[in-house]
Amino acid sequence: MKTCAPGSVIGMLGGGQLGRMLALAAAQLGYHTHVYCPDEKNPAEQVTDRLSRNSYTDEAALVEFGKSVDVVTYEFENIPVETVELLQKHVPVFPSAKVLKVSQDRLREKDFLNGIGIETAPYAPVATVDEAAIALRDIGYPAVLKTRRFGYDGKGQAIVRQPTDLLDAWASLKSSEIIIEGFIPFDMEISVLAARGQDGEIRCFDPAENIHKNHILDLSIAPARIAPELRAEAIEIARRIVAELDYVGVLAVEFFVSGAAPVFRVNEIAPRVHNSGHWSIEACPTSQFEQHIRAICGLPLGDTTLYGRTEMKNLIGDDILDMESYLKDPAANFHHYGKKQAHPGRKMGHVTWVYPDAASWDD
Amino acid sequence: MKTCAPGSVIGMLGGGQLGRMLALAAAQLGYHTHVYCPDEKNPAEQVTDRLSRNSYTDEAALVEFGKSVDVVTYEFENIPVETVELLQKHVPVFPSAKVLKVSQDRLREKDFLNGIGIETAPYAPVATVDEAAIALRDIGYPAVLKTRRFGYDGKGQAIVRQPTDLLDAWASLKSSEIIIEGFIPFDMEISVLAARGQDGEIRCFDPAENIHKNHILDLSIAPARIAPELRAEAIEIARRIVAELDYVGVLAVEFFVSGAAPVFRVNEIAPRVHNSGHWSIEACPTSQFEQHIRAICGLPLGDTTLYGRTEMKNLIGDDILDMESYLKDPAANFHHYGKKQAHPGRKMGHVTWVYPDAASWDD
């Protein structure tokens, strides 16, 4: 176990809003952050102590960065595995390259989950359109073609509703590393943020219910509006995942919940803090961001009890123009990520409401 | 009224822990901060977008700074008034130089307060030890000699218990700008953090009760353990002060509370966020830091309702070595200011506990 006391320097790969909120949480605990990010004007650099603006493949810059920090983490999962493997030779990195390999690849991820008895959609890896046609006979229609790597917010996906959709869908993905997944009709999507410390302690946040708009998260509400015993079941699955991965840090597990006697199927896991846990900043004693910092630094994990039901709304693109109404709402906790341009689909901020008097939505 | 929308740049004079927490609050709302501070390795620079490390008397650097930001504020009151006056020619500065002049000088401050009918200790300005001896005949013993300017945490003060103490007390202050204050026996010290917006709206936080150790704040508990109508009276005084000053931002008012039918006397005012309001980060929807940012940027003021009774403990000097116990306490919100050296008397961090189920200490 490698403990980094407050005052140490946390290296962070990536500079988006997740990195920004991690840096703010780290600062409260007295950590310095050093962001490594190739992007100009990234949201995290505005609040960090140091910045290295270099490519993830610049080995000399990575080694120098690794030597300048006490521990490294990352705020998105599309960091090259080789980057993390190189850094691990110089400094502890959490989550590990092993975990990153699994979560970067939809095929490995599903193999891992099914290997430990956790249900997912049916799936098959395919390398050619002919293989896809054969696999679809088993999986059936509708199905979803997904690139194995680098997909997010609905990107890298194409639905195949009938055999004649296949050629166009295949061509749209521009990749030969494809996985076909059976289409799961679901009643609800939920997510669980699970944290595991270096000492193996696990603490989970209450499951959140997630509502999407245009394939992007629009609302998260916690606790998810399912029976308490089902919430406990989802948490138990998330605990198994982080334990089996020997994970350190916060990890998000997305589930589809289907049927009257609900079945949970894991849609995907993300080895990082997650948009569907932003409400934890105000709704819990310890936020997902502070919890991640605590975990990677070897501190005791914090309390994740929900103060009351909570709702988080993403501000996407021009939604940010409504900021004045949120700033006027005394119950709204307004967050702005410091981005200048509000492109369509761009996550510009979020708002959280907490209702401490209501423990759940049933009250 | 000059509104600076989120995304604007806030210039901040000073780089201590108050500046650090202001910068963190500003970041949540999407503001960039540009710290102007002569000190090496100041706590605020670790979390700000830009830093100018220059003297407060470097006019060229100040003008350049003023042109690079949209609004200026400060995190401590010992900024030279001339610095603020120069900046005001280029950019809005809140609180104004006029306010700073009053609060920097114990004599002007007491004249102002008494001028609007607010009670303070009896006082007299003196320039020589002979004048002091004469003034002491009226004020009586014990009394306190204080430098008119640049005192904090008990520095620049000397108690005179009897006439024979005067010569030593006078010599210890090494100044000829002295105010003699009558010594007020008090049962409690409380403070009120009051915020006033550019539009004149005023919102106050609940009065906090402050307990000192070695002349430095040790504990603040809110609400102060006095009757609700007395808390309302203290808030009313604070409201009058910010209204009369035409103040913009957060201002702290410290009171002595004396007697069985309690009398409030204002000890001092500080034109800034204040150590005795740190609990507002977790105990209120809007913290004193966010409230100050909202006020100076022309945003609507936020909700200051207390979630429940709260307690804040300062971690002074070696107190910070106990950090592990606070990190293990699930109810403790631990804050570390990122300072490397724990000198005796140095404020290294603080811890806040909130008890949402108890609205006041009487429950």
Q: Could you read off the pLDDT of B72-111 as tens digits, one per residue?
A: 999 998 899 999 999 999 999 999 999 999 999 999 999 9
DSSP three-state, residue A21: helix
In angstroms, rounded to a whole number, what is the distance separating the alpha carbons of residues B26 and B39? 21
Phi first, then psi: give them for residue A290, nearest 5 degrees: -60, -40
Round to whole Å and give the CA distance between A50 and A235. 36
Tell me which chain A residue has its CA closest to the CA of residue B308. A356
Q: What is the chain A residue with the closest CA to B329?
A: A302
Whether residues A204 and A236 share a domain: the answer is: yes
* Tens digit of each residue's pLDDT (9 = 90 or more) over B82-92: 999 999 999 99
Does some domain include residue A131?
A: yes
Residue A310 included in any domain: yes
Domain containing residue B271: CATH number: 3.30.470.20
Place of tokens 């116990």: B325
Residue A302 has pLDDT above 90, yes or no: yes
> How far B335 CA sits from the closest chain A CA (Å)?
5
**Whether B172 and B195 share a structural domain:** no
Is B109 within any annotated ligand binding site? no
Which band of pLDDT confidence, cut at 50, 70 and 90, is reported for residue A151? low
Rounded to 5 degrees, what are φ and ψ at A321? Answer: -65, -20
**Residue A102 forms part of a structural domain:** no
User: How many degrees, rounded to 5, is the angle at CA B288 between CA B236 and CA B255?
Assistant: 40
Domain termination residue (choose one: A76, A93, A110): A93
Residue A237 and residue A276 share a domain: yes
Query: Is B66 in the same domain as B151?
Result: no
Residue B165 shares a structural domain with residue B299: no
Q: Which residues of B touch A331 (CB under 8 A)?
A: 285, 303
Confidence (pLDDT) at A154: 64
Mean pLDDT estimate for chain B: 94
What is the number of structural domains in chain B? Answer: 3
| CA separation for the pair B156, B148 (Å, rounded) | 9
- Residue A326's closest chain B neighbor by CA? B300
B262 & B304 share domain = yes
Handedness of CA B209, B214, B215, B216 (dihedral sign): negative
Which of B139, B166, B182 marks a domain boundary? B182
Among the residue ranges A1-5, A159-163, A278-282, B134-138, the one predicted with the least confidence is A1-5
Mean pLDDT score, A196-224? 96
Confidence of residue B347 (pLDDT cuts 50, 70, 90): very high
In a domain, A1, yes or no: no
Taking an 8 Å cut-off on Cβ atoms, the answer to whether A49 and B49 are in contact is no
DSSP annotation of B299 = P
What's the gap in Å between the CA of A59 and the closest CA on chain B?
Answer: 26
Determine if residue A152 is labeled as part of a ligand binding site: yes
- Rounded Cα–Cα distance for residues A357 and A344 (Å): 36
Residue B82, annotated as binding a ligand:
no
Q: Are B198 and B272 found together in one domain?
A: yes
Question: Mean per-residue pLDDT for B166-194?
Answer: 93
- Could you tell me the pLDDT band of residue B321, with boundaries at 50, 70 and 90? very high
**A285/B331 Cβ within 8 A:** yes
Q: Is A76 within a domain? A: yes
Convert the pLDDT of each residue in B188-224 to its tens digit: 999 999 999 999 999 999 999 999 998 899 999 999 9
Question: Is B7 within 8 Å of A32 when comparing Cβ atoms?
Answer: no
Q: How many CB pairs under 8 A join A and B?
A: 99
CATH of the domain at B68: 3.40.50.20
Inside any domain, residue A232: yes
The reply to whether B362 falls in a domain is: no
Domain boundary among A74, A93, A112: A93
The type of residue at A51 is L
Average pLDDT over residues B221-229: 96
Question: For position B126, which CATH number holds?
Answer: 3.30.1490.20
On whether both B72 and B144 belong to a single domain, the answer is no
Shared domain for B166 and B192, answered yes or no, is: no
B159 is in an annotated binding site: no
| Extended beta strands in chain A, E state | 9-13, 32-36, 50-52, 71-74, 123-126, 143-147, 157-160, 178-182, 188-196, 202-204, 208-213, 216-222, 249-258, 263-270, 309-316, 332-336, 347-355
Statement to judge: residues A135 and A211 lie in one domain: no
Structural domain span for residue A148: 122-182
Give the rounded distance of the alpha carbon of A178 from its chain centre: 21
Contacts B28 to A, Cβ<8 Å? 24, 334-336
Q: Return phi, psi of residue A34, to 5°.
A: -125, 110
Taking the C-alpha atoms of residue B62 and residue B11, their distance in angstroms, rounded to an integer, is 11
A89-124 pLDDT per residue, tens: 999 999 999 999 999 999 999 999 999 999 999 999
User: pLDDT tens-digit profile of A40-96?
Assistant: 989 999 999 999 999 999 999 999 999 999 999 999 988 999 999 999 999 999 999
Q: Is the domain of B228 the same as that of B320?
A: yes
In this structure, the answer to whether residues B291 and B217 fall within a common structural domain is: yes
Q: Is residue A62 part of a domain?
A: yes
Tell me whether 0.95 is exceeded by the ipTM: no
Q: What is the mean pLDDT of residues B254-271?
A: 94
